[in-house]
Structure 1
């Protein structure tokens, strides 16, 4: 740990799990640097860096399943659902951004993490339930991204194989080896100490996400213009033709979970906001970044979902770029899948850094005199100033490596793309995107019970709860069905 962590541990500030010190979210410690109002190194994030983090987090593997999700819901419900989720996400993200500081959004005490904010406004058991939802979702997202990256890496091999041997060739390849390689890459990137060190990786990942989303849109548009399209309907897949009535219900609910997952980033919003400089007030910057990020991703989502459905119809694959509705040009399919892998390397880190910070902060406070936990070993230093640019901490190296190994093994054991995405979206959407922001906003603004505004907010929360519950049940049913035909470590793309 750095000196700031050791000082925080000795001073005993904050809660055990939710007082993340500056090195993780606000920049590295440096001798004579300017400091912010909390005594930590001055934050340097802007609307653009925050937007890059958001786009990196939001436009992920979820975008690739939107054509399939639209196919389950149809032309009428599909696009409307995408817009509704976008509006809800933008609105509740604004409520959450106001909670970065306790009390006055411009001058109140900073909340460094999502759990900090919940502790400041709600307290008690809600802090721990928030922690469970947040960190289970973050771990699940890491697993989901490992699965997706391996499928995309395998798709490069398959695209070349189909081009060489024809579309009917057996080009299946085991995903396990690609998951292992992705895990090894993440072990190295996980040694970056904090969020501010990830700005360059997030910007690169955001560029990659734009690239493969644009390719998916372009290929779908070309296929639609050529007239080689599948059958589409107002209500999506047809009962008695494509699916049974029971399957229609389950798949429609799974589609809602997939859409919810595609918009999920609220669990790291506060952590992203803690990288933003002020003035202006952080909540104002974050709201602009949220508007830019959510509107950009929604535009891509509408294009990917609608054009993908138009191209493939009710037979849309679960993953647009790896389900091989597109075979040619094979080099473009290769490039798109490489972009996905590069993007997910960055997205994995964006979602895992809060987990790393929480565990390391707790450990530093619990064992402040342990050299294994607190001592930093400089690796790279600046010549003139002698300032440490990169250092190795044995606890950080050991625990982060163990985390990546475990998440990789879990991905290998349960490689069910759409079912996993739907479950993660369902579990995380209501509590983290809606419930806690609404409850904290009510507490912050002292909105009285049974007033029209209170009723409206609680109605929104309750309706989102029902959607999340239904989607979670459907996704569990999907996973149970997949398990009936699953052989561990033998999954092929």
Structure 2
């Protein structure tokens, strides 16, 4: 790695001071990220359309457990994110060597087979999320057509719309956006996506408040759905597990935390900026989660729908429902890239190391595009990323119940990426004494979260089995 960096620095020096200023001290591209861009990346990654399903989660758990679990996982996520942020450089969190990826951090502190485990969990989850976002975006776009149909023909009308054209359109947009060369150039897209997430979450909250104000509210309970009235005993158990998992995974962004941190300027220290961005991101998210979850539960009670907007908890005003669903689709366009870029760069980095002399893989071409300015084109990037988007789109079309699989992937990735690795690397970095109070407290946290992940995985498997049983291939998706 040192010879690679030296080569880049020397070539930059040969081309003059301007070129030197365009690279960091290790020869890589100059980082321009700030507290604002990092916060935008985090909010884009964390606040997904799942915020609108938290009323359902609270309906399964009730006022007390639901609210406590929401706040607890916010605290856990923020705490472990601060541990992970300190591990970006090694061995010292401020002056140490940069680690550009999550796998790189694990390699620096833990090594061995844990690096492969990290890669499997991280990149498997990233691929799954991009497939899930393709499905979710199409559901939101279908909901726009249905909202207009219900408005014109009545709420009881049979309004059937196919998801497939919308999935294809989403894929075409992603093929274009995927040519953005790296994470450093995604800031504008993340800021737009973050604004969209605030927009549809605010609309959902506003509509729920209007429902509560009208007095037409559902029956709520301290412990949520009532066995024998709303659900059977087994349904109560599995749905509670699934709800806990939904809340835990709703905060998880550790999968891409290091990649976000690697976009930050070196001054002030990246770990300090990342901690502030994490605090803003998690705090903002928690406010929206509590508002959506609690007000939504108050509005719909134990019969809360899985999603305010796409499951038509609200029908009117239809134009506002249309706008909110459009915001969801726009948000997911940006979120797809935030989750896709780390995987894109992982594959491209491996290929460049394996075939350093290949012009197809390594050569960059510059071209001026009207209104967009100078753009860099790499033939391998163009072909590989296009194929990836096509593949994820096809998988989304073949398996429209993939969101149930995504819940299982989230359960499997949450514990190692959000809890275990940050804690284990923190212990290695700060040399926490084995069996000390701090060591025991940290591993108690690891154990509790492992149990949560296991229960959520079981709940996801039950939900997946149910989804497969009801799945009808080659039918229009209602």
Q: What band does the TM-score fall into relative to the shorter chain? A: over 0.9
Match of 2:451 among 466, 483, 490: 466
Aligned length: 466
Residue 486 of structure 1 corresponds to which residue in structure 2? 471
Using a 3 Å threshold, how does the CA distance of structure 1 residues 214 and 382 change in structure 2: closer, same or farther?
closer
Report whether the alignment pairs 1:260 with 2:248: yes
Q: Gapped runs of 5+ residues in structure 1?
A: 1-7, 14-29
Using a 3 Å threshold, how does the CA distance of structure 1 residues 231 and 172 change in structure 2: closer, same or farther?
farther
How much does 1:296 deviate? 0.2
Match of 1:377 among 340, 356, 365: 365
1:10-409 superposed matches below 5 A: 11=3, 31-380=19-368, 389-409=374-394
**1:256–1:422 contact (8 Å) kept in structure 2:** no
Match of 2:397 among 412, 419, 427: 412
Normalising by structure 1, report the TM-score: 0.91
Report whether the alignment pairs 1:427 with 2:415: no
Using a 3 Å threshold, how does the CA distance of structure 1 residues 35 and 395 change in structure 2: closer, same or farther?
closer
CA distance in 1, matches of 2:22, 2:346: 25
How much does 1:100 deviate? 0.5
**1:138–1:351 contact (8 Å) kept in structure 2:** yes
Using a 3 Å threshold, how does the CA distance of structure 1 residues 324 and 382 change in structure 2: closer, same or farther?
closer
Residue 21 of structure 1 corresponds to which residue in structure 2? none
**Greater CA drift, 123-132 or 426-435:** 426-435
CA distance in 2, matches of 1:466, 1:431: 12
**1:62–1:262 contact (8 Å) kept in structure 2:** yes
Deviations 1:111-148 (A, max 9, x none): 10101100000001000000000001111111111111
Using a 3 Å threshold, how does the CA distance of structure 1 residues 421 and 299 change in structure 2: closer, same or farther?
farther
Q: Gapped runs of 5+ residues in structure 2?
A: 6-17
How much does 1:279 deviate? 1.6
How much does 1:424 deviate? 3.5
Aligned residue for 1:389, secondary structure, equals strand
Residue 24 of structure 1 corresponds to which residue in structure 2? none
Using a 3 Å threshold, how does the CA distance of structure 1 residues 176 and 448 change in structure 2: closer, same or farther?
same
Residue 17 of structure 1 corresponds to which residue in structure 2? none
How much does 1:409 deviate? 1.8
CA distance in 1, matches of 2:222, 2:234: 19
**2:368–2:375 contact (8 Å) kept in structure 1:** yes
CA distance in 2, matches of 1:418, 1:192: 26
Aligned residue for 1:487, secondary structure, equals coil
Normalising by structure 2, report the TM-score: 0.94
Deviations 1:227-249 (A, max 9, x none): 11111111111111121111111
Deviations 1:276-325 (A, max 9, x none): 11221110000000000000000000001111111111111111111101
**Greater CA drift, 404-413 or 49-58:** 404-413
How much does 1:477 deviate? 1.4
Using a 3 Å threshold, how does the CA distance of structure 1 residues 382 and 284 change in structure 2: closer, same or farther?
farther
**2:140–2:326 contact (8 Å) kept in structure 1:** yes
| Two-structure CA RMSD over aligned residues (Å) | 1.9
Residue 460 of structure 2 corresponds to which residue in structure 1? 475
CA distance in 1, matches of 2:58, 2:187: 33
List structure 1 segments (4+ residues) > 6 angstroms apart after TM superposition: none
